[in-house]
Structure 1
């Protein structure tokens, strides 16, 4: 048929830390365990133009093989049955039916399985070669990492960037890198504030910091000596006062709860 599915292709990045022989061994092991042992025929090709993006293309059959070596059918017709196990007429002289796949190779759940298997195989190969495991098939969000993923440049943009030509995708990735750096700094600052406020709240009740004590503590932390430093400290003090007032914070306990 003109719209038939002839094959399935999988593309995966190869770790640059591995030699060509190690990359070949990795691909062969992965293909055998996940595809050939399931009954598929597999053909793969490694592409490496020396641009820092080695990868493999794996092409798989979508039809099973019969015992005599002939191709089998991808699917078969199955009749719908009623509660008595009898075929249901379709009102046109035939029987109601539906299509059933002869294998589970088209199950969309395989994508997650194959991705996870590639990550596991790659990490085993890296560790065997004396390198730390680096690959995780999950997104940053699924890993619980507060980080924005970069966009894929592709070969054309990668080459232009290497020649010093700034591209739109490259600009996006530079902005993402700057944003991730800022997120990391903010997270570290909040962590320091959280630990400091927690330590203050754990002091005896009689020493609980009021708004005034909190203000004095902030002043002690910022004891500038230069005129510029004093101006900056005054601006920070004004920002702190506005924050406390806007959030109704009157004690260190309330500040700790807000930071938490």
Structure 2
């Protein structure tokens, strides 16, 4: 079933990272960094199924060239602790086809990112049946007259902007799922905000899926199995209690409480 996952993180020099390296790795391409003289070559990556750069209207043509774009980004930053890029990572609904994934991403990028002045480098990875997208974003506004980048837009870094992205991604996914006649839906809100008395699962990424292929159950997946079992037992317990109440059998308050104790996650099982 479709799952909700959207995370946002910054690419910063304080952690020894660069925009050129990040772009090369995600796109599975070879990029030369003019600032450091390094070459980042990830052209052997096989899981990249789609790559495209989206720009705002009137952006210069060079902005659609991956190597030129991210070298220009690096050149615009002078601080040693500079935030050189922002990344949005999203899980793509498995109920949609690859072409539907592209339509979903294009609609989201146009309405939420490039319309606000950002340049978005969009890449889809599909490794071990785990389709997801990396959206690498510029943090500065494009300067049309000076053929480079201008000031940083702090509004793009606000909590309100993050919440808008989270909500809009869910809406875009659900719209495409509805068009595809799928009954699956996702919700960006926490279980508590949805009024659901359940334990949230943890995100299972590509590494865990790769372990599955080798017959190894990751701790993250095992934890999720325990969580699902616990949530199911809580729902079943409440259903049973509801049925008893319909039969007018006296039930004490202590019986209505579901234990909050949760079993510790198992170690990795190598099968």
Q: Larger helix proportion, structure 1 or 2?
A: 1
TM-score range, shorter chain: 0.5 to 0.7
* Aligned residue in 2 for 1:126: 177
Structure possessing the higher radius of gyration over alpha carbons: 1
SS of structure 2 residue aligned to 1:72: strand
Q: Which residue, out of 190, 200, 204, partners 1:149?
A: 200
Whether the aligned pair in 1 keeps the contact of 2:202 and 2:220 (CA below 8 Å) is yes
TM (normalized to structure 2)?
0.60
Q: Does 1:179 align with 2:256?
A: no
Q: Which residue, out of 56, 62, 71, partners 2:139?
A: 62
Whether the aligned pair in 2 keeps the contact of 1:124 and 1:133 (CA below 8 Å) is no
Q: Larger strand proportion, structure 1 or 2?
A: 2
CA-based RMSD of the aligned residues comes to 2.5
Gaps of 5+ in 1: 75-101, 201-213, 215-239, 248-254
* Aligned residue in 1 for 2:67: none
Give the Cα separation in 1 of the matches to 2:98 and 2:218. 31
Whether the aligned pair in 2 keeps the contact of 1:161 and 1:170 (CA below 8 Å) is no
* Aligned residue in 2 for 1:88: none
**Residues 23 and 166 (structure 1 numbering): CA distance in 2 closer, same or farther, change over 3 Å?**
closer
Q: Does 1:3 align with 2:54?
A: no
**Residues 195 and 17 (structure 1 numbering): CA distance in 2 closer, same or farther, change over 3 Å?**
same
* Aligned residue in 2 for 1:22: 100
Give the Cα separation in 2 of the matches to 1:6 and 1:167. 33
Gaps of 5+ in 2: 1-78, 258-271
TM (normalized to structure 1)?
0.62
* Aligned residue in 1 for 2:187: 136
Give the Cα separation in 2 of the matches to 1:105 and 1:165. 40
Aligned length: 178
